[in-house]
Structure 1
């Protein structure tokens, strides 16, 4: 008696060479590797996907840009969750609203084991990806916070002495110094001073 071949069984039994890799599947596999603590090797990734390295490079651009997409996916999820928590907190407004979001993001990044492992294993490359323009991550962080500040300024919730562009630059830099440098040095970062600096910079004074 033959076993019934369901669509799932047939799909699982297909040879890897029969499967069609895509740029999205390449990203998903690379992200899965990174979350597992594996080093990102484009040659091995291309081999696992069953494609040529040239094809993979055409899809992702280069190793820095691919890693930038992976890091952004982590940050974007954390950012969206922090926004949702702040939106659900009764009475939270203005500088308190923004500070909670900023602190929640920093705490989540501090506690993100893949980020910790990555910076421990590849500190020089990791810091370059996180703090420079090579991966595109820095620009995305800047854009995210610039839009947030613009919305809050236009709504009359905050009245900072700096424009939104300048605020975004400096609060991102504060976060980089407060989190990544300590993680690289195997120290537990303290998000409290960064939150205080954020409040002073954005609000112009520290509330009681």
Structure 2
């Protein structure tokens, strides 16, 4: 007696050549390679996907932008988890809510093995991607923090001495100093000091 065919069994039995690569499948493969510690090679990625390099470049823009999407997928997951935890721990929000998010994010990034391996293997490129806007990551980080600050300022829970956009910029720069200081100047990362600087900048004239 033959086994009845199901949509899943038919899909799995299709030849690999029948499968069609998409921008999303390209991203997922590139992200999996990165998480495995492999270098991001666009020519090899295109070959593995069964498409031309020109097609891949049209999909992802360039290597920096593709890596920016991969890094943002890591950052966004860390941010979302930190925000969810801080909302549970500090339903009243305010400076303790923001400070917990900041410290939890920095600690998570310091301890993120894929990030550590990437920076160890390609420190110059990695720092360029993480500390400039060539990959689009900086803009996304600033938007994330600016939105948090604007909400807290409008609610009257914090009263910093600078606007939300500039505040976001400076706390991100301080965070970079804490997270990547071992590469930048050979110092051991100390997220607690970054947290203290964060509170000094964000507190302003407390209400």
Query: Could you say which TM-score interval applies, normalised by the shorter chain?
Result: over 0.9
Q: What's 1:100 paired with?
A: 100
Alignment of structure 1 residues 97-176 onto 2, 5 Å: 97-176=97-176
Cα distance in structure 1, aligned partners of 2:202 and 2:185 = 29
Cα distance in structure 2, aligned partners of 1:115 and 1:27 = 17
Would you say the 8 A contact 2:90–2:97 is kept in 1? no
Q: What's 2:8 paired with?
A: 8
Cα distance in structure 2, aligned partners of 1:138 and 1:21 = 29
Residue 156 of structure 2: SS of its match in structure 1?
A: coil
Would you say the 8 A contact 1:142–1:168 is kept in 2? yes
Q: What's 2:22 paired with?
A: 22
Would you say the 8 A contact 2:159–2:205 is kept in 1? no
Cα distance in structure 2, aligned partners of 1:73 and 1:31 = 9
Count of residues in correspondence between the two structures:
206
Normalising by the residue count of structure 2, what TM-score does the alignment of the two structures yield? 0.93
Residue 13 of structure 1 and its aligned partner are, at CA, apart by 2.8
The 1:156/1:47 distance shift into structure 2, 3 A limit, reads same
Residue 135 of structure 2: SS of its match in structure 1?
A: coil
Residue 153 of structure 1: SS of its match in structure 2?
A: helix
Matched, 1:45 2:45: yes
Gapped regions of structure 2 (runs ≥ 5): none
Would you say the 8 A contact 2:27–2:70 is kept in 1? yes
The 1:184/1:49 distance shift into structure 2, 3 A limit, reads farther
Gapped regions of structure 1 (runs ≥ 5): none
Cα distance in structure 2, aligned partners of 1:69 and 1:183 = 23
Is the deviation greater in 188-197 or in 9-18? 9-18
Residue 73 of structure 1 and its aligned partner are, at CA, apart by 0.6
Cα distance in structure 2, aligned partners of 1:172 and 1:96 = 18
Cα distance in structure 2, aligned partners of 1:157 and 1:205 = 11
Normalising by the residue count of structure 1, what TM-score does the alignment of the two structures yield? 0.92
The 1:59/1:52 distance shift into structure 2, 3 A limit, reads same
Residue 152 of structure 2: SS of its match in structure 1?
A: helix
Cα distance in structure 1, aligned partners of 2:182 and 2:136 = 23
Would you say the 8 A contact 2:159–2:203 is kept in 1? yes
Residue 180 of structure 2: SS of its match in structure 1?
A: helix
The 1:17/1:67 distance shift into structure 2, 3 A limit, reads same
RMSD of aligned C-alpha atoms?
A: 1.9
Residue 25 of structure 1 and its aligned partner are, at CA, apart by 0.7
The 1:122/1:167 distance shift into structure 2, 3 A limit, reads same
